[in-house]
Amino acid sequence: MKIIRTHLTLILLATTLGCKEDVEKNDGIIDEEGIEVSQWEQVWADEFDGETIDESKWNKLRWRPGWVNNEQQAYTERDTNLYLDDGNLVIQGLIEPGYYGTDYTGTAYNSDYTSGRMNTDDKISWTYGRFDIRAKLPKGKGSWPAIWMLGENISTVGWPNCGEIDIMEHVGFDDGRIHASIHTEDYNHMNNTQKSGSTFTETATDSFHIYSLEWSPTYLRYLIDNESYFFVYNASNGDVAKWPFDEPQYIILNLAIGGDWGAAQGIDPSAFPMKMLVDYVRVYKMSENFNNIQVTFQVDMKNETVNGTGVWLSGGSISSGQPGGLQMQPVSDTYIWQTTLTLPPNSSYTYKFRNGFYPDTWSGGWESLSGDCGTGQHSDRSLSVGISDTTLQAVCFGECIKCAE
């Protein structure tokens, strides 16, 4: 959810401790002995099984229309916009011509639309972990639901410097297209430099799906129903303008109506009431059984004139959202270039090698692969990793095998 605002509440130096006992996540990995072990331990959750929203966990926001992104709804704390029903949180967008209200500052407004927005700001926040949100999205043009996170330090450093992680965004005029993004000082939609990915989920507005984020110091991995579709690797070398994601963030759930993106094809009055249903929000930390793996990529540039800006691992899913790619380093006294990445276990990627650094474009420098080792629309290399550190064979640039002697 793209945002420009001033955060007016105090920072909470929250921990990853929650109100529940730790619970193991169901999915696991197979260790070297063939035994399934848990990757994650639950540290916090809201199952929305009570009669009312737990205000020890959530803030209900009161905003006037147009506060961000030229959105047309007012956010209210009324039980017509935010309530629990049959084990689900319901965030309901309504068409209410002439609705009168006041925002949290006491400023009066009129609005033709109302909806709901909740967050965990100043209640609990997390640094790293896995976040699972099972939700059914609203249908209809003008809807703009989001599941996302913001840095707790927004009140001191502002947006986008605090960092924003969009776990799920959906706009009603493009039914089923799920978006994931990050926004930072260097990478944000105001400069058209945000890092984003998307996938199509045909039944997003008809049934529940689990929208997940795995967040570590070295990567952000986005999944739907446990299938990965977007990946951002931390190639910042400590530059917080590129990677501010080593500080606590809090969760936000909201249903916007209209706005710069949501109303790009208008608002359908017949689509109301719009409902975003959330079955649960679950947060996990990495268990002691979880081990990221080290994967070393190698390419032999023996038959190539290397561009002055070097060789890069780019394209595909491993550096999606990063046109320039991930930098490789030359190995002394050889033609080989290599880089080692820290990746989650039991994961799959596509990629290519790129001769030269092109940070602002997806054209130029690519290797051209045959169907023997290329896959997909752009003929990318593919890789699946298990639970062991791996060094890949140094293949010849643009070829499927080692360079000829």
pLDDT tens, position by position, 285-301: 999 888 999 999 999 99
At 1 the pLDDT is 56
- Going by the DSSP 8-state scheme, the letter that residue 47 receives in this structure is -
Q: Is the pLDDT of residue 75 over 80?
A: yes
- Is the pLDDT confidence value at 247 over 60? yes
Can you tell me the mean pLDDT for 127-151?
98
- Write down the pLDDT at residue 107: 97
- At 18-54, the pLDDT tens digits run 333 333 444 555 444 444 457 899 999 999 999 999 9
- Burial of residue 178 (CB within 10 Å: 0-12, 13-18, 19+) is buried
Query: The tokens of 251 are what?
Result: 């969760």
pLDDT tens for 385-402 read: 999 999 999 999 999 999
pLDDT of residue 320: 67
pLDDT, residue 203, reads 98
- 30 residue type, one letter: I
Tell me the pLDDT band of 316, cut-offs 50, 70 and 90.
confident
What are residue 145's phi and psi, to 5 degrees?
A: -80, 155
The tens digit of pLDDT for each residue in 330-380 reads 999 999 999 999 999 999 999 999 999 998 888 899 999 988 899 998 899
Confidence (pLDDT) at 278: 98
> What pLDDT, on the 0 to 100 scale, is given for residue 24?
42
The catalytic residues are 164, 169
Percent of residues, the chain, with pLDDT higher than 70: 90
Q: Are 168 and 186 in contact (CB under 8 A)?
A: no
Worst-scoring range by mean pLDDT, 8-22, 26-40, 112-126?
8-22
Q: Where does 254-342 have alpha helices with state H? A: 259-262
Confidence of residue 152 (pLDDT cuts 50, 70, 90): very high
Q: What is the pLDDT of residues 190-246, one digit of tens each?
A: 888 888 999 999 999 999 999 999 999 999 999 999 999 999 999 999 999 999 999
Query: Is 70 exceeded by the pLDDT of residue 249?
Result: yes
Measuring CA to CA, how many Å separate 110 from each of 101, 103, 114? 6, 11, 10
> Minimum mean pLDDT among 1-10, 71-80, 212-221, 284-293: which range?
1-10
Domains and CATH numbers, the chain: 23-286 (2.60.120.200), 293-396 (2.60.40.10)
